[in-house]
């Protein structure tokens, strides 16, 4: 439950704090001045000289009347001096109290103005935040002024909005691309069936050809949906944590694609050494299979494929290198985006969904690893995945 102090605005709280500090410092300074004044008025009185003067006056026996008169005058002067000292101290206290009151009022006013000027960028930040929505992510604060904590906060907020904008743009692009990719096989199916239904003289051969096209199209749609589900699962970060070995997954992936590699006349070589990790076995196998499938499908006839697994001090690694068309270095990163292809010929393979490397990157991120890619000197691509290595104690 918030107290009354917590419910006040930060500007009011800052003004009050500044005023209290100012009044406290002023009171301390006036107190010191009061002590110095007191010492000046009282501590410099010399009682021995006063006493000796009194003895001298009283010791004059020849003129008793004049002595008494001088003594009374002297005592009166002492009383007047004491009264003046007291009046001076009281006046000093009254003046100090008045000065403190004026200082408090003026200090609060100045503190209120200063706090308002200092907090003005925060108000700008608040107004900009209220204006930003899903459709206005292009808005930025772009705060100017000294590079202080408030500007750092504004710059950090701008960076966060920029990341959100990129994320939303990527999501919109992904949904649009997924819709387009799904529409293609569905259109093929619908067109083929409509053509057959409108032709009364359709032959068995035509029906079989259409059935084959339908199976191909539905298979493509099924693979696409399977890829989207795998991508969504890895993006959710809700994965299993079980021991697995990338070398075993790589051996299985290469074995399952033997027929496809032989049909493409690829020279497949492997160097599989133990690469123990902890993670989701299904997703890890999907990661390795996607790397191998991508290397085979985007290769050239008679090309090469090399798969390597191993370990470093902290990571288990798998590297898949293939031959193929020359890939510009600037375009390599695009291959990890969903449905991104560098050239029209890369879409010729109907088994490709455009999600292979995107799924790889998502799975790697879900397991706390890294994935890097670099074009080969004579074409093709080299992709390396590094995942946190399973500890020796866990292996034992």
pLDDT of residue 50: 45
pLDDT of residue 45: 52
pLDDT of residue 386: 95
pLDDT of residue 343: 54
Number of residues that this document lists for the chain: 396
pLDDT, average across residues 192-213: 80
Flag whether pLDDT at 31 surpasses 70: yes
Helix or strand holding residue 147 (H, E)? none
Flag whether pLDDT at 101 surpasses 90: no
Q: What global pTM score does this model have?
A: 0.54
pLDDT digits (tens, 9 = 90+) for 372-387: 999 988 889 999 999 9
Name the 3-class secondary structure at 138.
coil
pLDDT, average across residues 49-66: 51
pLDDT of residue 268: 93
Token match 């699962």: residue?
Answer: 233
315 DSSP β-pair partners = 388
d(CA 84, CA 82): 5
At residue 276, φ and ψ (nearest 5 deg) are -75, 135
DSSP state at residue 389: B
Strands 315-322 and 242-245: unpaired
DSSP state at residue 316: E
Mean pLDDT computed over every residue of the chain: 78
pLDDT digits (tens, 9 = 90+) for 150-165: 788 888 888 888 887 7
Closest CA to 101 of 181, 30, 192, 46: 30
pLDDT digits (tens, 9 = 90+) for 116-172: 887 777 777 777 777 776 667 777 777 777 777 778 888 888 888 888 777 777 677
Q: How far apart are the first and last CA of the chain?
A: 53
At residue 127, φ and ψ (nearest 5 deg) are -65, -40
Strands 267-272 and 242-245: unpaired
User: How many CA atoms within 13 Å lie on the side-chain side of 20?
Assistant: 6
Most confident region among 10-19, 25-34, 272-281 by mean pLDDT: 272-281
pLDDT, average across residues 265-285: 92
In percent, the amount of the chain with pLDDT more than 70 equals 80
d(CA 66, CA 277): 116
Q: Which of 30-39, 159-168, 338-347, 384-393 has the lowest mean pLDDT?
A: 338-347
Flag whether pLDDT at 366 surpasses 80: yes
DSSP state at residue 201: T
pLDDT confidence bin for 62, thresholds 50/70/90:
very low
Q: Check: CB of residue 348 under 8 Å from CB of residue 220.
A: no
pLDDT confidence bin for 353, thresholds 50/70/90:
low
| CB-neighbour burial class of residue 35 (10 A; exposed 0-12, middle 13-18, buried 19+) | exposed
Q: Check: CB of residue 316 under 8 Å from CB of residue 277.
A: yes
């Amino acid at each position: 439950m918030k107290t009354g102090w917590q419910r006040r605005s930060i500007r009011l709280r800052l003004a009050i704090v500044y005023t209290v500090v100012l009044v406290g410092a002023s009171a301390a300074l006036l107190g010191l001045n009061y002590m110095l004044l007191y010492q000046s008025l009282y501590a410099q009185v010399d009682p021995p000289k006063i006493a000796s003067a009194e003895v001298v006056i009283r010791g004059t026996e020849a003129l008793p009347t004049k002595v008494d008169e001088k003594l009374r005058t002297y005592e009166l002067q002492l009383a007047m001096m004491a009264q003046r000292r007291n009046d001076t101290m009281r006046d000093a206290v009254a003046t100090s109290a008045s000065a403190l009151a004026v200082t408090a009022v003026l200090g609060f006013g100045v503190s209120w103005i200063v706090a308002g000027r200092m907090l003005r960028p925060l108000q700008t930040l608040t107004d900009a935040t209220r204006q930003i929505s899903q459709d206005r992510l292009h808005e930025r604060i772009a705060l100017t002024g000294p590079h202080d904590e408030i500007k750092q906060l504004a710059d950090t907020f701008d960076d966060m909005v920029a990341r959100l904008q990129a994320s939303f743009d990527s999501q919109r692009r992904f949904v649009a691309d997924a819709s387009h990719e799904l529409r293609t096989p569905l259109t093929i199916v619908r067109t083929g069936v409509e053509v057959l239904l409108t032709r009364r003289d359709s032959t068995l051969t035509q029906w079989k050809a259409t059935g084959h096209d339908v199976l191909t199209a539905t298979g493509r749609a099924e693979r696409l949906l399977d890829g989207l589900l795998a991508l969504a699962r890895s993006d959710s970060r809700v994965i299993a944590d079980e021991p697995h070995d990338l070398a075993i997954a790589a051996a299985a992936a290469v074995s399952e694609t033997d027929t496809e590699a032989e049909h493409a006349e690829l020279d497949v070589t492997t160097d599989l050494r133990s690469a123990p990790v902890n993670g989701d076995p299904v997703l890890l196998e999907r990661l390795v299979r996607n790397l191998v499938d991508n290397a085979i499908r985007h290769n050239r006839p008679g090309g090469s494929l090399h798969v390597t697994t191993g370990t470093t001090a902290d990571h288990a690694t798998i590297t898949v290198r293939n031959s193929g068309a020359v890939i510009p270095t600037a375009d390599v990163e695009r291959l990890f985006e969903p449905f991104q292809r560098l050239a029209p010929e890369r879409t010729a393979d109907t088994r490709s969904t455009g999600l292979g490397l995107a799924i790889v990157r998502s799975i790697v991120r879900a397991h706390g690893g890294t994935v890097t890619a670099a074009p080969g000197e004579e074409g093709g691509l080299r992709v390396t995945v590094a995942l946190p290595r399973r500890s020796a104690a866990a292996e034992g």
